[in-house]
Structure 1
Amino acid sequence: MINILGQVMVYVNNQDEAVKFWTEKVGFAIISEEDNGEGMSWIEIAPQKNSQTTIVLHNKEVIAKMGTGINLGTPSLLFFTEDIEALHVKLSNNNVLVGEIINMPFGKTFNFADNEQNYFAVAERNKQYYKL
């Protein structure tokens, strides 16, 4: 039985730049860095060191050459925050491309893009729609 989502794989063109984006601009922590010594490396990041679900940044070109048939597209990720306005200001101040904050039936939300123009969404948690 599956009981938790452990990792989300994000395939990027430039791992170094992706790590800088997520750690320096968004404020994520590096959980681990691995290199198999044969050209494949990956970096595990998360909003906090003790996060249950992490993001693993893989080199898209290396994974494509493996011929595994994995979908290398960027997954649609929705992050939660307790203070959407403060996060919007922080990302804007860190030169992250952010969309406007909009009101939805489930609460406030906005999107942002990484350096490779992959878009992600953020929502402010609303007790009525999201389990806290």
Structure 2
Amino acid sequence: MIHKLGQVMLYVNDQDQAVKFWRDIMDFIIVSDQENGSGMRWVEIAPSRESGTTIVLHDKAMVAELEPEMNLGTPSLMFYSDKIELLREKLLEHKFPAGEITNLPSGKVFNFADYENNYFAVMEKFIEK
């Protein structure tokens, strides 16, 4: 049976811009950047090598051509950060939409958008040591 979420597929219009956003703004690392020789490229990213689950950036148009019935919508992702205020400031500094920080019973949270106006959320969670 399933014991772990391995990867989340994120279908984007511009892989290079998506890589730039996740690497340069969100401080993710590139786990791998591969092509199959036929023009299909996938870029695997993660917050760190230890994070477990990774995000794979796929070319939306190419996937749509190969699998026309596939849902290519943006998944609803909730990220955790122990530096939520700094992250929000960085996004705003780089002119990315970032909502106000809201206090929920489960902690502080805000949403943000990438280059393609895909929205995600971040919740304050401290790293257990």
Q: TM-score, normalised by structure 1?
A: 0.90
Structure 1 runs (4+) deviating above 3 angstroms are none
Q: Give the SS at the match of 2:100.
A: coil
Matching residue of 2:50: 50
**Count of aligned residue pairs for this structure pair:** 128
Structure 2 unaligned blocks of 5 or more: none
Q: Percent identical across equivalent pairs?
A: 55
Matching residue of 1:63: 63
Asked if 1:86 is matched to 2:90, the reply is: no
Matching residue of 1:121: 121
Q: Give the SS at the match of 1:97.
A: coil
Q: Hey, what's the Cα distance between the residues in 2 that align with 1:37 and 1:104?
A: 47
Asked if 1:7 is matched to 2:7, the reply is: yes
Q: Following superposition of structure 1 onto structure 2, how do residues 4-43 of structure 1 map, counting pairs within 5 Å?
A: 4-43=4-43
Over the residues paired in the alignment, what is the CA RMSD in angstroms? 1.7
Q: TM-score, normalised by structure 2?
A: 0.92
Matching residue of 1:72: 72
Cα deviation 1:83-118 (Å, max 9, x = unaligned):
211221222223322111111121110000000000
Q: Hey, what's the Cα distance between the residues in 1 that align with 2:116 and 2:106?
A: 28
Q: Hey, what's the Cα distance between the residues in 1 that align with 2:104 and 2:50?
A: 30
**AA partner of residue 94 (structure 1):** H
Q: Give the SS at the match of 1:24.
A: helix
